[in-house]
Chains A and B, each alone.
Chain A
Amino acid sequence: MKSLQIQIKREFWEHRALWIAPLAITAVLLTGAALVGNPRLLHMAAGDDAPPLFEITLLGWAAPLYLTAIILATMYLLDCLYAERRDRSILFWKSLPVSDTRTVMVKLLVGLVLVPLGTFVLAALTSLLASAILVLRFSLAGHGAAPLWDSATWLRTQGLMLYTLVAALLWYAPYAAYLMLASAWARRWPSAWAIIPPLLLALFEYMIFGTHYVRQIAQRGFGELMALIFRGRGDRAANAANAANAGDAAGEAIANHVMSQYPEPSALFVSPQLWLGLAAAALMLVLAIRLRRYRDDS
Chain B
Amino acid sequence: MTTIIEAKALSKRYGSLVALDQVSFNVQSGRIVGLIGRNGAGKTTALKAILGLTPHTGSVSVFGLDPSRERNALMKDVCFIADTAVLPRWLRVAHAIDYVEGVHPRFQRARAEEFLSRTDIRLRSRVGELSKGMITQLHLALILAIDARLLVLDEPTIGLDLIYRRQFYDTLLNDYFDHERTILLTTHQVEEVENLLTDVLFVDRGHVVLDASVEAIAERYVQVNVASDQVDAARALQPFYERQIFGRATMLFENQPQAALSGLGELRTPGIADLFVAKMQPEGI
Contacting pair A92 B90 (CB below 8 A) = no
Whether A88 contacts B91 by the Cβ 8 Å rule is no
| Among B86, B87, B88, B101, residue most surrounded by chain A Cβ atoms (within 10 Å) | B88
Contact of B98 among A6, A84, A89 (CB under 8 A): A6
**Contact residues, B129-169 vs A (CB, 8 A):** 139, 143
Residue ID in chain A nearest B80 by CB atoms = A95
CA separation between A90 and B114, bound complex, in Å? 26
**A residues near B51, Cβ cutoff 8 Å:** 95
The answer, yes or no, to whether B55 is at the interface (CB within 8 Å) is: yes
Complex CA–CA separation, A9 to B103 (angstroms)? 12
**A91 near B104: Cβ-Cβ < 8 Å:** no
B85 within 8 A of A: yes
Point out the residues of chain B lying under 8 angstroms from A94, CB to CB: 53, 75
Question: Which residues on A sit within 8 Å (CB–CB) of B143?
Answer: 95
Main secondary structure of the interface of A (DSSP, over half): helix
Q: Which residue of A lies closest to B79 (CB)?
A: A95
Asked if residues B85 and A89 are in contact (CB atoms below 8 Å), the reply is yes
Interface pair B53/A92, CB less than 8 Å apart: no
Complex CA–CA separation, A298 to B88 (angstroms):
15
- CA of A296 to CA of B51 in the docked complex: distance in angstroms? 12
* A209 at the B interface (CB under 8 A): no
Is A151 close to B, CB under 8 A? no
A92-B86, A95-B81, A97-B72 known; A6+B53 contact, CB < 8 A: no
Contacts of A88 in B (CB 8 A): 84-86
Is there an interface contact between A294 and B55, defined as CB atoms closer than 8 Å? yes
Is B95 close to A, CB under 8 A? yes
| Residue contact A96 to B85, C-beta cutoff 8 Å | no
CB distance from B196 to the nearest CB of A (A): 22
Which chain B residues lie closer than 8 Å to A14 at the CB level?
A: 88, 90-91
The interface bits of chain B over 91-125 (1 if a CB of A lies within 8 angstroms of the residue's CB, else 0) are 11001001111111100000000000000000000
CB A83 to nearest CB in B, in angstroms, measures: 8
Q: Is the CB of A92 within 8 A of B85?
A: yes
- Tell yes or no: A257 within 8 A of B by CB: no
CB closest chain-B residue, reference A16: B90
Do B75 and A97 touch (CB < 8 A)?
Answer: yes
Interchain CB contact under 8 A, B88 and A92: yes
Chain A: how many interface residues by the 8 Å CB criterion?
Answer: 27
Q: Does B235 contact A (CB under 8 A)?
A: no
Q: Measured between alpha carbons, how far is A181 from B217 in the docked complex, in Å?
A: 51
How many Å lie between the Cα of A7 and that of B100 in the bound state? 10
Q: Is the CB of B95 within 8 A of A13?
A: yes
Give chain A nearest CB distance to B103 CB in angstroms: 5
> Given the interface contacts A13-B90, A13-B91, A97-B76, does A5 sit within 8 Å of B82 by beta carbon?
no
Interface string of A1-17 (1 = CB under 8 A from B): 01101110110011010
Q: Is B88 within 8 A of A91, CB to CB?
A: no
Restricting to A50-81, which residues have a CB under 8 Å from any CB of B? none
Interface string of A74-118 (1 = CB under 8 A from B): 000000000110011101101111110000000000000000000
Is B244 close to A, CB under 8 A? Answer: no
B54 within 8 A of A: yes
B54 closest partner in A (C-beta)? A296
Given A6-B99, A296-B53, is A89 in contact with B82 using a C-beta cutoff of 8 Å? no
Cβ 8 A contact of B86, one of A7, A87, A296 = A87
Across the two chains, which residue of chain B brings its CB closest to A14? Answer: B90
Distance from B136 Cβ to chain A, minimum over Cβ atoms (Å): 12
Looking at B80, B86, B91, B103, the one whose CB has the most chain A CB atoms below 10 A away is B103
| A87-B88 in contact given A2-B102, A10-B99 (Cβ < 8 Å) | yes
Q: 8 Å CB contacts to B: which residues of A5-33?
A: 5-7, 9-10, 13-14, 16
Q: Residue B38 at the A interface, CB < 8 A?
A: no
For the complex, is B8 an interface residue (Cβ under 8 Å from A)?
Answer: no
Residues of A within 8 A of B181 (CB): none
Q: Which residues of A contact B75 (CB under 8 A)?
A: 94-98
- Complex CA gap A128/B86 in Å reads 45
Distance between A248 CB and nearest chain B CB, rounded to angstroms: 36
User: B80: which A residues are within 8 A, CB to CB?
Assistant: 91, 95
Taken together as a complex, chains A and B put the C-alpha atoms of A5 and B88 apart, in Å, by: 20
Counting from the closest, the 8 A-B pairs by CB-CB distance are A6-B102, A91-B85, A97-B75, A89-B88, A91-B82, A296-B54, A99-B72, A92-B85
Known: A3-B102, A87-B88. 5 other contacts (CB 8 A): A6-B101, A14-B90, A16-B90, A91-B80, A95-B81
9 A-B pairs, CB-CB below 8 angstroms?
Answer: A6-B102, A14-B90, A87-B89, A88-B85, A89-B85, A91-B53, A97-B72, A97-B104, A296-B53
Query: A residues bordering B, Cβ < 8 Å?
Result: 2-3, 5-7, 9-10, 13-14, 16, 83-84, 87-89, 91-92, 94-99, 293-294, 296, 298
